[in-house]
Amino acid sequence: MRPLVVIPTYNESENIERMLHRIHECLPGAGVLVVDDGSPDGTADLVKGVAAELADVHLLSRAAKSGLGSAYRAGFAWGLERGYDACIEIDADFSHDPAALPTLVAPLEEGFDVAIGSRYVEGGSIPNWAWHRHLLSRGGNAYASAVLGLGVVDSTAGYRAYSAGILRRLDLSHIRAEGYGFQIEMTYRARQRGAAIAEVPIKFVDREAGESKMSSFIVIEALGLVTWWGLGRIVHGVRRVATGGRGKAGRGGTGTGTHQPGQPGQSGQPGQSGHSGNAANGQTQNATDTEDPIRSA
């Protein structure tokens, strides 16, 4: 498998060189694409310098800051056009440990479509977070999973990997959210397309250098979009009841579960047909069971 690690950046000059070298050490053979949104601190020039030293390091420069979701959509499209087998999301600030990259990629090599680096499955952790941050994060994840039927513990996690196949099945031009909302929407749309999703435990730490890009607006946007998509599911369900039909058959099940490398038969193991596994309710569901007619604005 030839994966592409996509790193969105804005003013990450304090971290980017070290991050690129660590990725090269931890996941040899992977390509790296830095999507830089016109950083005034010289981040792009530093990337060019590393690209002259290391193979398969690339820079996609954009004129202005355009958002996390936009950066990942551009990066995924870039990778698909060039034939990479998977795309990996990672933060430039070392809140995601590059040493976990092989563990994150492993489920894709076993047939999963999406692998999420989860803070909340057994073995995952967030050291040094205040109680109110834990409450907000866990509450937001529980709300998204319940409203959208995700069957995923950590749908807001930003350390994850997608197979090229599931990215091609998604219409990236219709993925509009940013920040936490982008991660939830990608999980939701992938689940609608019948994706088998694995969660692997990671340790998430706060950045040591540079400034955080998180804001209260991003959190509010995510909660608003989840509610909007949830209403769409209700509308879809009412329409199905009114017409007395169940819609078209979906493509296999939407398997989810915690991934334990090297241990076959674990929850979420892709099935022989349609990548089925244990869904949120203990059984597989068709992709059409979760589709909604309302897209993000």
Which tens digits make up the pLDDT trace of 101-160? Answer: 999 999 999 999 999 999 999 999 888 878 777 777 788 888 888 889 899 999 999 999
Handedness of CA 70, 94, 113, 235 (dihedral sign): negative
> For the segment 239-249, what is each residue's pLDDT rounded down to a tens digit?
777 777 654 44
Q: Which segment of 36-40, 57-61, 183-187, 244-248 scores lowest on mean pLDDT?
A: 244-248
Cα separation, 115 vs 77, whole angstroms:
19
Q: What is the pLDDT of residue 211?
A: 56
Contacts of 229 (CB under 8 A, 6+ apart): 147, 148, 185, 188, 292, 294, 296
Handedness of CA 21, 124, 177, 165 (dihedral sign): positive
